[in-house]
Amino acid sequence: MQFLHELGIEKLQSGNSTGSVFIPGKGRELISSSPVDGTVIGSVTEADESTYETIIAQAQSAFLQWRNWPAPRRGEIVRQIGDALRAHKDQLGRLVSYEMGKSLQEGWGEVQEMIDICDFAVGLSRQLYGLTMHSERPTHRMYEQWHPLGIVGIISAFNFPVAVWSWNSALAWVCGNVTIWKPSEKTPLCSVAVQKIVATVFEKNGVPEGVNCLVQGGREVGERISHDTRIPLVSATGSTRMGKELAAAVGARLGKTILELGGNNAVIISQHADLSMALIGCVFGAVGTAGQRCTSTRRLIIHESVYEQFKNKLISAYQQIKIGDPLDAANHVGPLIDRQAVEQYLSAIEQCKASGGKFIVEGKVLEGTGYESGCYVQPCVAEVTPDMPIVQHETFAPILYIMKYRELEEAIAIQNAVPQGLSSAIITLHLREAETFLGVNGSDCGIANVNIGTSGAEIGGAFGGEKETGGGRESGSDSWKAYMRRQTNTINWGSQLPLAQGIQFSLGDE
Ligand code: NAD
């Protein structure tokens, strides 16, 4: 495959790096095979303890230099990374698609998201604003300023093998931090390709070795990061199970976290909806990335008066979905990440049936030519009631649950009655319904949309969710503040020393 060659992906490589230097790992080999066709693409070595220690030491020393680079100069480096990504968008998008299994359109989209966040971070590098306040004391001035934290740990999930890293690192770098990335053990080669692209920019500009570090490994390496007091902030994306363990470990040492965890996203389809528009948004949300987005649409809460009509539209739309090689533009849906994910899909279908769910589009594992990897499944739709245990759970697969409602308040209550709180949407042309959904009595999610689906966020907004989704925010708006420490400064430029709150304190004759 030409794109592997162009990205410098070899059969076996270290994958542990301090920037430009790759350190031959001594740990176990992590093999990456494509869910598209089962081919072993390559492998990396896991970072053993001594490799990890070498990398952390380099990151610590790089931070001492990097934090002194003016923020706009750091932004200039990120601008060049955006350009390098533009130049490699096609190849990197193909690798994302081949190693992870998402459609090529979505693979390219993921790289575009990296480019977008670089652009955002360039502007941000001149806007790391603090406030000034009026002091209660005469001849005093108060203001706040923001300083970098140090090493930012980034732990990412398989489903966004490159974009999530860029959301974190582009911001972390302009803020003056250095980063250490532990990608998912299921998609290590994407991280190696990104590392190589960034290394060319860093080398050209004399960026200190250690600003952009990469360590390979599974849960154990993630746990090493979560317990490491030299890493003041850990930004972790993955399952709620992982987030609870990681939050406990980082919290025990009073470190900071940004948690981006599971979702269980719903769309309310009102009797005032444009049903054609609803259909596109809901089907893309449910089957895009084979249901493996944190923002995938998992539940449709449909008004009883349009329920049968919309159900029939869904059935005919699902008949048109083409499943196959995601690198072929004719296909809408690629494979699940691995056979374990296929087992989880089958188990969820069984649980749904056992609790009374009725499938209107049946699920199954696809077999035959083109499906040899065993990871391709039929996206399916089940009629359920909202209280079924499986409906409360995030299954990372293309299973869509549909249910009825009568009153908007009831629909909102159903939407909110799950442990997760990432993304939500209402499809309605009725202004009062839309505003009720967005208002204080409406959706309890971090993301609430009107007349679009639950997936496909733009980088300009803060991204993240509430409850078991973890409460973190990444990407746009003022998310950068999580990557810095705030310092409040009070300066007395007068000749007296008045105390705050009017407290009197004197030392006799002095
Ligand atoms: P996962 O939890 O299995 O793994 C995620 C990452 O955490 C991996 O790098 C893994 O090695 C690491 N890890 C696992 N256990 C750990 C521990 N105890 N301590 C430290 N690190 C640990 O998740 P996954 O299967 O790769 O991804 C799917 C999940 O990610 C879904 O739940 C999805 O909703 C979630 N996700 C959330 C967002 C978001 O922004 N909210 C984005 C993408 C994915």
Give the pLDDT confidence of 335-370 residue by residue, as tens digits: 999 999 999 999 999 999 999 999 999 999 999 999
pLDDT at 218 over 70: yes
The larger pLDDT score, comparing residue 56 to residue 457, is at 56
Q: Determine the pLDDT at residue 26.
A: 82
Using CA atoms, how far residue 70 sits from 73, 173, 271, in Å, is 5, 11, 55
Percentage of the chain beyond pLDDT 70 is 100
Q: Determine the pLDDT at residue 11.
A: 83
DSSP string, 432-483: HHHHHHHSTTS--SSEEEESS-SS---TTSEE--EETT-S--EESTTGGGGG
Task: Report strand pairing: 399-405 vs 484-492.
Answer: unpaired
**Average pLDDT score over residue span 296-306:** 98
Tokens standing for residue 64: 């001492």
In 10 A of CB 259, how many CB atoms? 25
Global confidence as pTM? 0.97
Tokens standing for residue 175: 């803020």
Q: Determine the pLDDT at residue 243.
A: 98
Q: Is 245 in the pocket of ligand 1 (CB under 6 A)?
A: yes
352 in active site? no
DSSP string, 282-310: HHHHHHGGGG-STT-EEEEEEETTTHHHH
pLDDT at 394 over 80: yes
Rounded Cα distance between 25 and 264, Å, is 38
pLDDT tens readout for residues 35-52: 999 999 999 999 999 999
Interacting residues of 36 by C-beta distance below 8 A, sequence separation 6+: 97, 98, 101, 325, 326, 327, 334, 335, 373
Q: Is 433 in the pocket of ligand 1 (CB under 6 A)?
A: no
List the residue whose alpha carbon is closest to atom 41 of ligand 1: 260
Q: Determine the pLDDT at residue 1.
A: 84
| Of 27-31, 204-208, 274-278, the least confident | 27-31
Alpha carbon 339 to its chain centroid, in Å, reads 23
Q: Is 338 in the pocket of ligand 1 (CB under 6 A)?
A: no
Q: Determine the pLDDT at residue 282.
A: 97
Q: Is 158 in the pocket of ligand 1 (CB under 6 A)?
A: yes
**Average pLDDT score over residue span 59-80:** 98
Interacting residues of 434 by C-beta distance below 8 A, sequence separation 6+: 426, 428, 450, 451
In the three-class reduction of DSSP (H, G, I as helix; E, B as strand; rest coil), residue 163 is classed as helix
List the residue whose alpha carbon is closest to atom 30 of ligand 1: 238
First vs last C-alpha separation in the chain? 82
**Average pLDDT score over residue span 151-162:** 98
Quickly state the pLDDT bin for 432 (edges 50, 70, 90): very high
Using CA atoms, how far residue 419 sits from 326, 327, 350, 457, 466, in Å, is 32, 35, 22, 21, 9
Rounded Cα distance between 367 and 358, Å, is 24
List the residue whose alpha carbon is closest to atom 26 of ligand 1: 157
pLDDT at 25 over 90: no
Q: For 149-244, where are the E strands, in sequence order?
A: 151-155, 178-182, 212-214, 233-237
Phi-psi region of 477 (alpha: psi -120 to 50; beta: other; left: phi over 0): left
pLDDT at 510 over 80: no
10 in active site? no
**Average pLDDT score over residue span 104-115:** 97
Quickly state the pLDDT bin for 440 (edges 50, 70, 90): very high
| Ligand 1 atom nearest to 240, measured from its CA | 32
Q: Determine the pLDDT at residue 508.
A: 80
pLDDT tens readout for residues 164-198: 999 999 999 999 999 999 999 999 999 999 999 99
Q: How far, in Å, is the centroid of ligand 1 from the Cα of 237? A: 5
Q: How far, in Å, is the centroid of ligand 1 from the Cα of 275? A: 34
Mean pLDDT, the chain, rounded, equals 97
Q: Is 472 in the pocket of ligand 1 (CB under 6 A)?
A: no
pLDDT at 509 over 80: no
Q: Within 13 A of 67's CA, how many CA atoms are on the CB side?
A: 19
pLDDT at 397 over 90: yes
Q: Determine the pLDDT at residue 343.
A: 98
Q: How far, in Å, is the centroid of ligand 1 from the Cα of 175? A: 25
Interacting residues of 68 by C-beta distance below 8 A, sequence separation 6+: none
Q: Determine the pLDDT at residue 346.
A: 98
